[in-house]
Structure 1
């Protein structure tokens, strides 16, 4: 879209407020951590140390609220260590302004690279730059700088300790992630009742998988209702799709479709009950009529063929999942084995260190949004510091601090956060400074106001960045006012410096952008290639029915989900960017995504009816899988090179393969997973889906 609509969209996004607030319990815990170190340092008569300690406690507490499945105390300690190091390094360089500007720029560049490790690492690293800018003005010598670094670390230790001894809902985030996965399956089952080709959103299952990554110590303490439940959800997903699809499951209309709707309605109720049980830790009741709907009549389900197979498998999986949840009420012990079902290894800090160089190497190229963001934020931090020192304003660090906190690797977040930060900071400065000018509070009153402000920031953290920025700005102003600094600085100074910092961030992205729009062909190509590997792995599971082939299929599924998520994220970000791609049009991208969704849906059907291990291999399936893999890889290369896509060779191979295969069985149930069933049903649907991709990209 053009610049004007794009800026209007980001303006609305930045100022939009949600009704969601943080749990009051967590807010009180964060406020208590800040109050302990702040009032403790004030009691010793050290207002400067109190400011540093409070900043450390505030940011460490903020780190523990990030959407991460790592232990909250550990996140607080990581943040405290980074904050302490940044403040000390900054002070060592501060006596020489040119050196300090270089150190600040390099530190900001390194903080920008931290986004290679994920959003939590990137957010925490950005806050270390702000602490360097503020705390460097407080100590007067190296011993005092060490003291400030120590109390910053102490603030993080206090927050970590409180998070450990006062954790709130134990395993709450992991419970919610797994419960959300089951709730999404229930929603999917209800949608399938009315739309047999409804799409499935794998994001909740991906999040549940991340939540299942545990250290061995965590696995020993994990509640039993969280062990192994994710695997049931993964197995139920393709069975629901197979039963609902009229091409391979229940007939489109008639008694079979009525029976399928009845089963899917009952499945939705049971899946919802399982979600409630996981979320609360107590088994949720299931109505007797729901169980009666799943009862197999004497003559078997009305469904027949592959649809009957899917129905029986669904009934069995739902019974197993329900029994696994209800086993908690019978006092089953916690599954503590390292190889417990659903347990994925989560590396600790030492195991993560070798991952860091690999992540940096992966992003060490000019097209990487992480590297470009690191360069932008490093340059802007240095330029902002130079301008702040050059202008006749006090507290010139407000300009680079605002710029660093606003900037993100993508356009939409940077501009939306820029607008929100500017609005929130201006309001916070005006209100906080006005209170100080009118009341002339003592240091203790300022400390109390700071604690109240930070409580508001914690409470409104999920409401919107503008509201949170207002509270954070007030918090910083009240902390600085404890030493009398607020009375020597005007509201106009802080507002102008904030505007300058926000303007620098916005100009930097406009001059040196990282457009997701130009990356869409590469994202789509990766999605197509991963989708081809996923479908080929499913066909290979018929050609070589072994546990190894199923493991390869699972790995291909995870890659397919990840590339899909990356394409969706890039598409959402590109929708708000003021640029257009000259080769890949919006309509083409939408049609291509629809074709790939059909490919994934068909592969799900194949997953639902995989032959058992050691079954007879399907003749010719391995060759078809190889052609499928090669053709989708060639299509991906053509998309990246902006060349025509040609997938006709796949249809030719399919037709040649079908000529010498036997006639399909009259009832697919007589030959589950047989050669005729595969060729005349699933492989043909795969070819049709890829022909849709061919048409979409060549239109």
Structure 2
């Protein structure tokens, strides 16, 4: 009866752990993104708070009203209908299906949304059927534990394939545990179909949009593209650290989001619609502008304010929004001003930025590209990583499946050997805590226990006020409505809201009152202890083991990008995607380091300087690539060799689990243009490596 949101959100500047609500108000607040702007500095300082302060510190997310209303109605309508018809069992399962659909909904194109919701609901329905079959056939505790262990292995392996797989895998295990312990539906197999019916209700609510939404800007890809240009404008307006570095991470997150939303372009396939071609051109121009802007940020080279305002004008053009100083509707018509001002870029980096902005303006306004300034079209992006291939059978998926199966097996053995009235609560909690894309397992286990205690207290207070079933159903719907925002605020707070929802459903199903709820605290503490011991302490997945493989991957991606840039021969067709691969690998490293900072072990802090050095190096290679295309000098082979050797040494250090002991300092001023950017980056890496 509990759920968790996936973690594919994209951050905004003012609230680093929540998604930015879109202009139409349909986007939902989610959990932290891989590209969340750094909550903690890249280089630690003595003034930083201890790990436990960072772990308990919540954020203040915006309240996404449209998903809140859909979540409340999706739970309330089935519950009220079940109470009115005397079939509350069917209403509960339909409400659960509606809740799962709402929480797996994203502001995406219809095809991606259908795949995401369908995958999550399909896994949940299958898990519910498995659990219902175990309950219907009266399987013993030990055989049921073996079946749940097998389901746990499949759940963990699927969860490791990506964000969509994470949601589907978790719901498979949660529903199997829940279906085997919750009161059965009549007939027993009706739980799965009722969940699908509840999901259909939420999908129908999502389609009920006012006529004003039926315009081109209603395409979620256009909204994401506009967010890309707004983030680019923020970066150009603050081309110096620390704000510029946070803006660049936000821009990278927006680009990642749009890349995942664009379909794969098949060579020789059918011609794409004009709208999609416009999106691709605008996206590729934004990639080129990001490359040039990253170089300007690295060198602390500001641009004129009128140039920094161009991306914001492009974002308004995509949304058909009037400019802030637009004339009144009855004012005399004047010819539209050009989006890119007439200016004279004096350096290769500025010329690269100017060409990218002019290409973007042509793409956004639908004009044909100017051959004199057009940025060369980038190749098609790689396929969506969810296109299974061998990810399900990869080493990482199998290892995570074994990790979840071990914890579920221990939980099954404990519940079979102890007189627990609702033993399904233990494996269900294990599934929640081990969800792979929600941050530190240690932090989630502790937060889960603390949140459950608070949730039980809230539930006891509610039942002291009323036991009316209609009011309890309304309270359950209210808790569901609060879940999106609390998921973005803090995991413990989210658990404190989920617990009254779950216990309210237990009470509606004939629970015995408050005295039955306090054992849930023991169950949760037991499950959290199992995860901490068998899924954290005894399993090689603690911070160093998570961070160091990603350090190796990021150094390899940067090495490939550097080799492509310095190989000569113009701009190789694959160079833009080598840069994207490197940036996404760095985003993964930052995410894991930030999660490690919320754990007692201080090993993650030891990798902070290396993360900063790699980010600085990526900022040095990008401007060099842009300048080469606009008359900049080529890098000295000795400098390239120094950077390559330093990357190899850093990767070797990560493989040996030995963080470098050197120091790295933030730059104190603009880069001297007479000095090689790669030489400066090589010096920073060499000082870091000692």
Q: TM-score, normalised by structure 2?
A: 0.74
CA separation in 2, counterparts of 1:74 and 1:503? 35
Find the counterpart in structure 2 of residue 190 from structure 1: 237
Superposition deviation, residue 398 in structure 1: 2.1
**For 1:42-61, what per-residue CA distance to the aligned partner results, in whole angstroms no more than 9, with x for missing partners?**
34322222222222222222
SS in 2 for 1:417: helix
CA separation in 1, counterparts of 2:593 and 2:338? 42
Superposition deviation, residue 513 in structure 1: 4.6
**For 1:524-559, what per-residue CA distance to the aligned partner results, in whole angstroms no more than 9, with x for missing partners?**
34333332321221122xx323xxx42132232122
Equivalent of residue 429 in structure 1, options 456, 474, 489:
456
- Structure with max Cα Rg: 1
Unaligned runs of 5+ in 1: 247-251, 253-259, 333-339, 646-679
Contact 2:586 2:614 in 1 (8 A): no
CA separation in 2, counterparts of 1:45 and 1:218? 55
CA separation in 2, counterparts of 1:283 and 1:227? 24
Contact 1:196 1:241 in 2 (8 A): no
**For 1:307-333, what per-residue CA distance to the aligned partner results, in whole angstroms no more than 9, with x for missing partners?**
1x54455445434434544559xxx9x
Does residue 273 in structure 1 map to residue 308 in structure 2?
Answer: no
Evaluate the alpha carbon distance shift between residue 399 and residue 68 of structure 1 in structure 2; reply closer, same or farther with a 3 A threshold: farther
Evaluate the alpha carbon distance shift between residue 283 and residue 230 of structure 1 in structure 2; reply closer, same or farther with a 3 A threshold: farther
Does residue 417 in structure 1 map to residue 444 in structure 2?
Answer: yes
Superposition deviation, residue 91 in structure 1: 2.7
Find the counterpart in structure 2 of residue 523 from structure 1: 550
Equivalent of residue 689 in structure 1, options 670, 681, 685:
681
Find the counterpart in structure 2 of residue 295 from structure 1: 342
Segment of structure 1 superposing worse, 636-645 or 41-50: 636-645
Find the counterpart in structure 1 of residue 146 from structure 2: 102
Evaluate the alpha carbon distance shift between residue 460 and residue 694 of structure 1 in structure 2; reply closer, same or farther with a 3 A threshold: closer
Contact 2:70 2:205 in 1 (8 A): yes
CA separation in 2, counterparts of 1:218 and 1:162? 33
Superposition deviation, residue 379 in structure 1: 2.6
Find the counterpart in structure 2 of residue 151 from structure 1: 194
CA separation in 2, counterparts of 1:123 and 1:171? 26
Q: How does 1:604-643 map to 2 (within 5 A)?
A: 604-611=622-629, 631=645, 634-635=648-649, 638-640=652-654, 642=656
SS in 2 for 1:461: helix
Q: How does 1:344-359 map to 2 (within 5 A)?
A: 354-355=388-389, 358-359=390-391
**For 1:185-234, what per-residue CA distance to the aligned partner results, in whole angstroms no more than 9, with x for missing partners?**
32332333799997973552353244243348997495887452222222
Evaluate the alpha carbon distance shift between residue 218 and residue 421 of structure 1 in structure 2; reply closer, same or farther with a 3 A threshold: farther
SS in 1 for 2:323: coil
1 or 2, which has the higher helix percentage? 1
Aligned pair count reads 602
CA separation in 1, counterparts of 2:183 and 2:130? 12
- Structure scoring higher RCO (CA < 8 A, sep ≥ 6) equals 2
Find the counterpart in structure 2 of residue 230 from structure 1: 283
CA separation in 1, counterparts of 2:409 and 2:656? 39
CA separation in 2, counterparts of 1:472 and 1:378? 24
CA separation in 2, counterparts of 1:223 and 1:505? 46
Find the counterpart in structure 2 of residue 452 from structure 1: 478
Contact 2:557 2:582 in 1 (8 A): yes
Evaluate the alpha carbon distance shift between residue 190 and residue 462 of structure 1 in structure 2; reply closer, same or farther with a 3 A threshold: same
Equivalent of residue 318 in structure 1, options 357, 368, 390:
357
Find the counterpart in structure 2 of residue 38 from structure 1: 79
Contact 1:108 1:129 in 2 (8 A): yes
Contact 1:422 1:502 in 2 (8 A): yes
Find the counterpart in structure 1 of residue 19 from structure 2: none
Q: How does 1:15-414 map to 2 (within 5 A)?
A: 15-64=56-105, 71-94=112-135, 95-96=138-139, 97-138=141-182, 144-166=187-209, 171=218, 174-192=221-239, 201-202=248-249, 204-212=251-259, 213-215=261-263, 220=273, 226-240=279-293, 261=302, 263-278=303-318, 280-284=319-323, 294-296=341-343, 301=344, 304=346, 307=347, 309-322=348-361, 324-326=363-365, 354-355=388-389, 358-362=390-394, 364=395, 368=396, 371-409=398-436, 413-414=440-441
CA separation in 2, counterparts of 1:197 and 1:425? 40
CA separation in 2, counterparts of 1:198 and 1:84? 44
Find the counterpart in structure 1 of residue 665 from structure 2: none
Evaluate the alpha carbon distance shift between residue 483 and residue 219 of structure 1 in structure 2; reply closer, same or farther with a 3 A threshold: farther
CA separation in 2, counterparts of 1:461 and 1:221? 38
Contact 1:77 1:157 in 2 (8 A): no
Contact 1:516 1:571 in 2 (8 A): yes
CA separation in 2, counterparts of 1:378 and 1:426? 27
**For 1:99-129, what per-residue CA distance to the aligned partner results, in whole angstroms no more than 9, with x for missing partners?**
2101112212222222322234313422332
Superposition deviation, residue 40 in structure 1: 3.1
Find the counterpart in structure 1 of residue 583 from structure 2: 561
**For 1:31-85, what per-residue CA distance to the aligned partner results, in whole angstroms no more than 9, with x for missing partners?**
2222333333334322222222222222222122599996434422222211111
Does residue 575 in structure 1 map to residue 597 in structure 2?
Answer: yes
Evaluate the alpha carbon distance shift between residue 560 and residue 483 of structure 1 in structure 2; reply closer, same or farther with a 3 A threshold: closer
CA separation in 2, counterparts of 1:554 and 1:315? 18
Find the counterpart in structure 2 of residue 667 from structure 1: none
Contact 1:73 1:159 in 2 (8 A): no
Contact 1:270 1:286 in 2 (8 A): no
Superposition deviation, residue 19 in structure 1: 1.8
Contact 1:13 1:416 in 2 (8 A): no
**For 1:619-661, what per-residue CA distance to the aligned partner results, in whole angstroms no more than 9, with x for missing partners?**
999x88996897467546643565999xxxxxxxxxxxxxxxx
CA separation in 2, counterparts of 1:619 and 1:478? 67
Superposition deviation, residue 151 in structure 1: 0.9
SS in 1 for 2:187: helix
Contact 2:549 2:655 in 1 (8 A): no
Q: TM-score, normalised by structure 1?
A: 0.73
Evaluate the alpha carbon distance shift between residue 544 and residue 681 of structure 1 in structure 2; reply closer, same or farther with a 3 A threshold: farther
Evaluate the alpha carbon distance shift between residue 264 and residue 87 of structure 1 in structure 2; reply closer, same or farther with a 3 A threshold: same
CA separation in 1, counterparts of 2:466 and 2:556? 65
Superposition deviation, residue 405 in structure 1: 1.4
**For 1:470-512, what per-residue CA distance to the aligned partner results, in whole angstroms no more than 9, with x for missing partners?**
3322222222222312449523222222222223222332233
CA separation in 2, counterparts of 1:194 and 1:641? 31
Evaluate the alpha carbon distance shift between residue 291 and residue 410 of structure 1 in structure 2; reply closer, same or farther with a 3 A threshold: closer
Contact 2:127 2:173 in 1 (8 A): yes
Unaligned runs of 5+ in 2: 1-45, 265-269, 328-336, 369-375, 660-672
